[in-house]
């Protein structure tokens, strides 16, 4: 071991140094906690605000930070001496995945196709609803949104903080057209995609000459404008109250009801609400795979190559004669179109939509999925969506924690807290995302994976 080389005296010094750092971090934590944790505000019965001292929570926070910082400092010192730092993944894991990505894709696809059957077998008919709906459908919606936004952010490099606007356009187009004109899901699905793409063009046209941070803020502004208009224009969208009673999708004309002409009766099955969920699961699976297929194929077309070139160096693109406005607009409106598809599916699945579902936080979550997964990587997006959305859904399942921390401990309260923290930590740990290597689409003789250190601006 590398530690053998160090003398006891040096180890002593290391220890003192680590202790000092930990004490400093603990002191800072104490300072941070003083006002905001040490006193909780609460309204008493007379509706007056009173303070509850909570010094035990402060002590816990300080102790956790002290121990954590101490261990981190020790680990950093041992890393400095030798190469004993623990790797999370054995060397070459990612390379292995990349070489066999076709196999893994097929395996993943097979799992996704059989997931409802597996869930029913494992959890029974009653328990499977939760797994297919909360985990399967919910995660797939975010995977699809992630892949859609991946076209804009990952391939074309345009940071879009208002993606949820197109999701809202899709959802409201489906809800309003289905309710007011009685059109079916299968007509409205492409229609809402087209409408969203159209909005993408309208919004994209003026703003796409901005770059980087400015573009991000303008798209955020547009996202908020659309939401605020939906809230305030009550004649059109029914405001905060939202739209309820949206027609549910049918199985090519056969509704999923307990009636005589319902799905179960027609196929001679016993009625169960699970059929609709399974149907919805396969619909969103097909939509997500369509998104993946289109973006994979587009990467190999001239327009896809132009997107990636644009992401790396806009000035070089312009001097090579690429029409940057058109290139950006195609990416923006294609991404918006997939957002619209997902939106109309969302409205059909929920049966109720309100502006509350389209807040900025949703955009941030989708963007986080794309960026944390590794921009441009479909696998990365899927993994990040499973980890982020599945992880937060899992928090709902942690009832046993109540036995440790008492009855009023609610793990779901910490959902977004952990989410935000994870965004920061993953950015620091891997600024290029979880899967940061890239597969080239154009190559000479042999395809080589581009490692993450080369994936900098101008080298990817």
Partner 1 sequence: MEVFVQQLINGLTLGSIYGLIAIGYTMVFGIIGMVNFAHGDVFMLSAFIALIFFMLISAWFGAGLIVLALIFVLILAMFFTSLWNWTIERVAYRPLRGSFRLAPLISAIGMSIFLMNFVQVVQGPRNKPIPPMLNKSILLIDSATYPVSISYKQVVIIVTTIVLLAAFWYLVQKTPLGRAQRACEQDRKMASLLGVDVDRTISITFVMGAALAAVAGVMYLVLYGVVNFADGFTPGVKAFTAAVLGGIGSLPGAVLGGLLIGLIEVMWSAYFTIDYKDVAAFCILAVVLVFMPSGILGRPEVEKV
Binding residues for partner 1, rule: CB under 8 A, are 28, 31-32, 34-37, 39-43, 48-49, 51, 57, 159, 161, 206-207, 209-210, 212-214, 216-218, 220-222, 224-225, 228-229, 232, 315, 360-361, 364, 367-368, 371, 413-417, 419-424, 427-428, 431-432, 456-457
- Please work out, in degrees rounded to the nearest 5, the angle formed at the alpha carbon of residue 368 by the alpha carbons of 416 and 340: 105
141 or 455: whose CB is closer to partner 1?
455
φ, ψ for residue 208, nearest 5 deg: -75, 0
The tokens describing 163, both together, are: 């993606």
Cα 112 to Cα 105, 120, 289, distances in angstroms: 10, 14, 11
Question: Smallest gap, in angstroms, from Cβ of residue 59 to partner 1?
Answer: 15
For residue 459, give every residue at least 6 positions away whose Cβ sits within 8 Å of its Cβ, in sequence order, or none.
312, 450
Q: Which is nearer to partner 1, 157 or 304 (CB)?
A: 157
Kindly tell me which of 386 and 427 has the beta carbon lying closer to partner 1.
427
In angstroms, the CA 73 to CA 160 distance is 37
Give least dist CB 47 to partner 1, A: 8
Provide, rounded to whole angstroms, the least separation between the CB of residue 427 and partner 1.
4
Our CB check for partner 1 shows the closer of 118 and 229 to be 229
Residue by residue, DSSP assigns 296-356 as: HHHHHSHHHHHHHHHHH-HHHHHHTT--HHHHHHHHHHHHHHHHHHHHHHHHHHHSEE-GG
Compare residues 226 and 278 and give the one whose CB is closer to partner 1: 226
Tokens of 119: 């869930």
Of the pair 229, 266, the CB lying nearest partner 1 is at 229
* CA separation for the pair 419, 352 (Å, rounded): 26
Q: Is residue 219 a contact partner of residue 205, using CB atoms and an 8 Å limit?
A: no
The minimum distance between CB 429 and partner 1, in angstroms, equals 9
Cβ-based nearer residue to partner 1, 73 or 216: 216
Q: Are 223 and 363 in contact (CB under 8 A)?
A: yes
Taking the complex as a whole, the smallest distance from the CB of residue 21 to partner 1 amounts, in Å, to 12
**Closer residue to partner 1, CB minimum distance, 216 or 309:** 216
CB 146 within 8 A of CB 385: yes
Least CB distance to partner 1 at residue 257 (A): 38
Dist. CA 44–CA 232, nearest whole Å? 34
Minimal distance in Å, beta carbon 211 to partner 1?
9
Q: How far is the CB of 423 from partner 1 (least distance, A)?
A: 3
Q: Distances in Å between the alpha carbon of 325 and those of 103, 206, 310, 352?
A: 38, 10, 11, 37
DSSP state of 413: G
């Amino acid at each position: 071991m590398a530690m053998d080389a160090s003398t006891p005296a040096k180890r002593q010094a290391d220890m003192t140094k680590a202790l000092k750092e930990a004490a400093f971090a603990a002191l800072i934590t104490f300072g941070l906690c003083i006002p905001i944790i040490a006193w909780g505000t609460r309204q008493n019965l007379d509706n007056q605000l009173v303070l509850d001292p909570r010094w035990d929570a402060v002590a816990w926070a300080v102790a956790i930070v002290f121990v954590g910082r101490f261990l981190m400092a020790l680990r950093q010192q041992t890393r400095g001496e030798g190469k004993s730092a623990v790797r999370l993944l054995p060397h070459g894991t990612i390379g292995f995945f990349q070489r066999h990505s076709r196999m893994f894709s097929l395996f993943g696809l097979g799992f996704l196709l059989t997931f409802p059957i597996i869930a029913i077998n494992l959890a029974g008919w009653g328990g499977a609803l939760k797994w297919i709906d909360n985990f399967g459908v919910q995660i797939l919606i975010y995977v699809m949104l992630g892949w859609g936004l991946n076209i804009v952010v990952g391939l074309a490099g345009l940071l879009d903080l208002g993606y949820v606007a197109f999701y809202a356009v899709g959802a409201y187009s489906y809800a309003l057209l289905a309710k007011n004109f009685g059109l079916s899901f299968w007509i409205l699905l492409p229609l809402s995609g087209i409408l969203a793409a159209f909005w993408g063009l309208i919004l994209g046209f003026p703003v796409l000459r901005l770059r980087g941070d400015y573009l991000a803020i303008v798209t955020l502004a547009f996202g908020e404008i659309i939401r605020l208009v939906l809230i305030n224009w009550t004649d059109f969208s029914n405001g905060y109250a939202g739209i309820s009673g949206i027609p549910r999708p049918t199985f090519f004309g056969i509704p999923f009801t307990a009636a005589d002409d319902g799905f179960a009766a027609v196929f001679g099955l016993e009625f169960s609400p699970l059929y609709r969920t399974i149907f919805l699961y396969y619909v969103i699976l097909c939509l997500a795979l369509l998104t993946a297929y289109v973006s994979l194929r587009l990467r190999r077309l001239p327009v896809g190559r132009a997107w990636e070139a644009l992401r790396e160096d806009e000035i070089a693109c312009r001097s090579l004669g690429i029409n940057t406005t058109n290139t950006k607009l195609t990416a923006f409106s294609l991404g918006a179109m997939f957002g619209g598809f997902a939106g109309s599916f969302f409205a059909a699945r929920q049966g109720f939509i309100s502006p509350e579902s389209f807040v900025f936080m949703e955009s941030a979550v989708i963007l986080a999925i794309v960026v944390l997964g590794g921009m441009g990587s479909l696998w990365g997006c899927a993994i990040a969506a499973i980890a982020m959305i599945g992880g937060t859904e899992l928090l709902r399942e942690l009832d046993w924690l109540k036995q440790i921390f008492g009855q009023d401990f609610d793990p779901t309260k910490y959902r977004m807290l952990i989410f935000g923290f994870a965004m920061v930590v993953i950015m620091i740990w891997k600024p290029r995302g979880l899967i940061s290597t890239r597969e080239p689409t154009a190559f000479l003789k042999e395809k080589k994976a581009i490692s993450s250190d080369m994936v900098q601006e101008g080298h990817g």
